[in-house]
Amino acid sequence: MNPFEKGRIMAYLRAPIYLALVLIAVTVGLFVYDKTLGMSAAIFVLIYALCVVVFYYFNRNKLTNEILDFAVNYGTVQRRLLNEFQLPYALLDDGSRIVWMNRRFAEVTGLDKEYKKSISTVFPMITREVLAKAEIGGDTFDIEIPFGDRYLEASLERLDFSSEFEERGNLLDVHIDSLVSLMLFDETEMYDLRQKFADQKLITALIYIDNYEETVVGVEDVKRSLLAAIIDRKISRFFKDADAIIRKTDKDKYFVIFQQKYLAQMEENNFSILEDVRTIKAGNEREITLSIGIGIGGSTYNQSAEFSRAAMDLALGRGGAQVVIKYADNVMYYGVRGREVERNTRVKARVKAQALREVMETKDNVIVMGHKISDADALGAAIGVYCAARELGKKCQIVLNTISSALRPLVETFSPEEGYPVDMFITSPRAMEILTPRTLVMVVDTNRPNYTECPELLERSNSIVVFDHHRQNNECISNPVLSYIEPYASSACEMIAETLQYFSERMEITNNEADVIFAGILIDTNNFLTKTGVRTFEAAAYLKRVGADLGRIRKLFREDMTTYKARAEVVRQARVYRNAFAFSDNFANELESPTIVGAQAANELLNIVGIKASFVMTEYKGQVYVSARSDETVNVQLIMEKLGGGGHFNVAGAQIEGKHFDEVERDISNILDTMIDKGEIVL
């Protein structure tokens, strides 16, 4: 539309307004000639003006659309080119309403060409917020849209129309700054090709029998081969439908290759092979469990194989009996139901003890730290490391930023008067000062970098050793020179006690050192009531032999009346959800160690008849600390993982920022409801 034609249309539209101005001038003249006649004329002009204003107000959008239609359809050539354009094309206003579409767009969408409703009624994914992302003069904005049995790509571009409606005065207030052009491309064939390519990608998987050695012990020689054959057959049968290649690399290890298209079916049945293998009985008393690590999304087959190895490390680090799928940027877990599989053999402990000794011998000094707000288990494990370093003549210092009231009696036993260095316990800033390239940083009782007393140490050190008994998750300490993570262990102190037995033939441990390590086992097992195994009692027996005394330990754990009352109050005001779960809030902020009170209260709530799991929430230093416990019928570790925490099957916790007690309790309740609906929890 040229400026002359555009001006002519606007002149026609403004004609009633010009006429109103003329009538007003005539009315003024009539008032001078005859007031009665002028009054009559004024009333007429007023009525006329009101009619004009009302007409323009209610028909402004219609006039705008007419102008747009005129602008779009102006010119026979332009109109035919747009309408016969083979690509589906449409114009949208800022309100996402369809202003115009060509014939091809109407055919693809099945709409009438006069359809003027919002584009989101056709493509729900194209909303006003999506349209707002298209900028004038910017690049096209593309979005994939599934439509029926096809896959379309919508290309959005904002067109500038402001100059087309600029007119001096603009008395009609008809103005449009921009429109959004929508062009559709049929990507169905390309999508199908990409899907076929993805489906045909090869996936590498590793399968380990978690407890092969422990299972075959006691099985008759004749039945051992039968047991192995049954396991092989079940694994082969499970992967038969996936047309997989299976190679047995060891008596308890398998390597599998299959196409990615079969993975969805395995995920759908939650990898039934895990439960199928548990049912095998061929002279074995123990249940057989498998760990499976699967790698997907590597740019090369070697990288996918590395992903499968990393997935297997995660599966074993979480206690086994599960499937871990490792993508390039994500990790999925399946079949996590049972408890960790206990191993009676100490071969691994002996190997790790020798490896730790070799690493320590090459370093000048050792810095050991546990998790934030350290407890007796973290301190006891750190003291065990101190004993090992002292045996080699290495200086060892323990990072301890906060000494709680419960921990203070234990720490005070290591005073200079007792022969210990003044700088045995240091803070994070001091640890950063003494860190050198020849310093060994050892982490105990946690494997998550953000949970340690000083995460900066891990970033600056290239010599890190991790000893922990918690299940691993996606966030873990990267590239340690030595990692010893055993989720089946009751505590980090149990692991350290085993390690000390093989660290040196003449290991010297004083009575108070043995007391603190023993105390760590007591706290994490709730006085040997939870998560104890044969090796737990063996470690306790060793500590007893080297001087641990229960009478001294009991005195170390005595608490004041305020703490005792606070714990009792938490138990008193507990709430029961679905007749099986106890929730309580710990408001004892005046205490020096409120989180310890919360953990103790969570243990006590399990003594109530009918309670399967307890959750105590404590607000401390701007965070909500959740202590979760169960009677071994509910996997609280899975629940806490969904909140960003972790732990064990029946002992877990989480630290949550930015939420109040009510919100955290609601989140946990929703998780419980979902798990009950899925059959993961049976009431």
Closest C-alpha among 560, 632, 564 to residue 601: 564
pLDDT above 60: residue 280: yes
Residue recorded with tokens 């060509």: 102
- DSSP per-residue codes, 91-121: EE-TTSBEEEE-HHHHHHHT--TT--SBGGG
Pairing of strands 425-426, 395-399: parallel
pLDDT one-digit tens code per residue, 525-536:
888 887 788 889
pLDDT above 90: residue 198: no
Residue recorded with tokens 């799928």: 325
Whole-angstrom CA distances from 303 to 205, 310, 447 are: 12, 10, 24
pLDDT one-digit tens code per residue, 493-512:
999 999 999 998 888 899 99
Pairing of strands 464-468, 623-630: unpaired
> b vs e for 366-386, b when ≥16 Cβ sit within 10 Å of the residue's Cβ?
bbbbbbbbbbbbbbbbbbbbb
Residue 353, φ and ψ in degrees, nearest 5: -65, -45
Q: Which of 66-75, 167-176, 192-201, 567-576 is predicted least confidently? A: 167-176
The pLDDT score that the predictor gives to residue 527 is 86
Tell me the pLDDT of the chain averaged across its residues. Answer: 83
**What is the average pLDDT across 340-367?**
82
pLDDT above 80: residue 543: yes
- The distance from CA 539 to its chain's CA centroid, rounded to whole angstroms, is 36
How is residue 414 annotated by DSSP? Answer: G
pLDDT above 90: residue 627: yes
Closest C-alpha among 577, 587, 568, 645 to residue 613: 577
**What is the average pLDDT across 87-114?**
83
The pLDDT score that the predictor gives to residue 683 is 80
**What is the average pLDDT across 291-302?**
87
* Helices then strands, each counted (H, E), the chain: 24, 23
Angle between helices 511-524 and 492-503 (to 10 degrees): 140
The pLDDT score that the predictor gives to residue 453 is 92
Question: How many CA atoms are closer than 13 Å to the CA of 525, on its beta-carbon side?
Answer: 25
Q: Which of 260-269, 356-365, 665-674 is predicted least confidently? A: 260-269
Residue recorded with tokens 């096809």: 150
Closest C-alpha among 635, 675, 599, 633 to residue 318: 635
Categorize the per-residue pLDDT at 240 as very low, low, confident or very high, splitting at 50, 70 and 90.
confident
pLDDT one-digit tens code per residue, 377-423:
999 999 999 999 999 999 999 999 988 877 888 999 999 998 999 99
Pairing of strands 253-259, 202-209: antiparallel
How is residue 435 annotated by DSSP? Answer: -
- DSSP per-residue codes, 586-633: E--TTSS-HHHHHHHHHHHHTTSTT--EEEEEEEETTEEEEEEEE-SS
**What is the average pLDDT across 658-674?**
92
Residue 312, φ and ψ in degrees, nearest 5: -65, -40
Report how far residue 413's alpha carbon sits from residue 518's, in angstroms, rounded to the nearest whole number.
14
Categorize the per-residue pLDDT at 574 as very low, low, confident or very high, splitting at 50, 70 and 90.
very high
**What is the average pLDDT across 153-164?**
73
Dihedral over Cα of 100, 105, 106, 109: its sign: negative
Q: Give the burial class of 435: count Cβ atoms within 10 A of its Cβ; 0-12 exposed, 13-18 middle, 19 or more buried.
A: middle
Closest C-alpha among 333, 327, 317 to residue 274: 333
Tokens of 484: 């010893």
Tokens of 338: 């049972």
Beta bridge partners of 92: 98, 180
Categorize the per-residue pLDDT at 72 as very low, low, confident or very high, splitting at 50, 70 and 90.
low
Tokens of 392: 């080699």
Q: Give the burial class of 398: count Cβ atoms within 10 A of its Cβ; 0-12 exposed, 13-18 middle, 19 or more buried.
A: buried
How is residue 471 annotated by DSSP? Answer: P
Please report, rounded to a whole number, the percentage of residues in the chain having pLDDT higher than 90.
31
The pLDDT score that the predictor gives to residue 54 is 78
The pLDDT score that the predictor gives to residue 169 is 40
pLDDT one-digit tens code per residue, 423-468:
999 999 999 999 999 999 999 999 889 889 999 999 999 899 999 9
The terminus-to-terminus CA distance of the chain in angstroms comes to 74
Asked if 496 and 518 count as a contact pair (C-beta separation under 8 A), the reply is: no
Residue 17, φ and ψ in degrees, nearest 5: -70, -40
pLDDT one-digit tens code per residue, 473-495:
767 888 889 989 888 888 999 99
pLDDT above 70: residue 636: yes
Angle between helices 561-572 and 594-605 (to 10 degrees): 50
- The distance from CA 135 to its chain's CA centroid, rounded to whole angstroms, is 33
Report how far residue 384's alpha carbon sits from residue 340's, in angstroms, rounded to the nearest whole number.
24
Report how far residue 577's alpha carbon sits from residue 594's, in angstroms, rounded to the nearest whole number.
24
Report how far residue 94's alpha carbon sits from residue 130's, in angstroms, rounded to the nearest whole number.
11
pLDDT above 60: residue 49: yes
Asked if 43 and 24 count as a contact pair (C-beta separation under 8 A), the reply is: no
Amino acid letter for position 448: R
Amino acid letter for position 348: K
Pick the residue with more confidence: 578 or 32? 578
Asked if 551 and 407 count as a contact pair (C-beta separation under 8 A), the reply is: no
CA-based Rg of the chain, rounded to a whole angstrom?
A: 37
Closest C-alpha among 608, 604, 579, 585 to residue 676: 579
pLDDT above 50: residue 172: no
SS3 content of the chain, % helix, strand, coil (to 5): 45, 20, 35
**What is the average pLDDT across 125-132?**
80
The pLDDT score that the predictor gives to residue 487 is 82
Closest C-alpha among 579, 600, 608, 583 to residue 668: 583
Beta bridge partners of 457: none
The pLDDT score that the predictor gives to residue 165 is 46
Asked if 187 and 151 count as a contact pair (C-beta separation under 8 A), the reply is: yes
Please report, rounded to a whole number, the percentage of residues in the chain having pLDDT higher than 70.
89
Pairing of strands 141-147, 150-160: antiparallel
pLDDT above 90: residue 633: no
pLDDT one-digit tens code per residue, 52-65:
777 777 776 666 66
Dihedral over Cα of 42, 46, 51, 52: its sign: positive
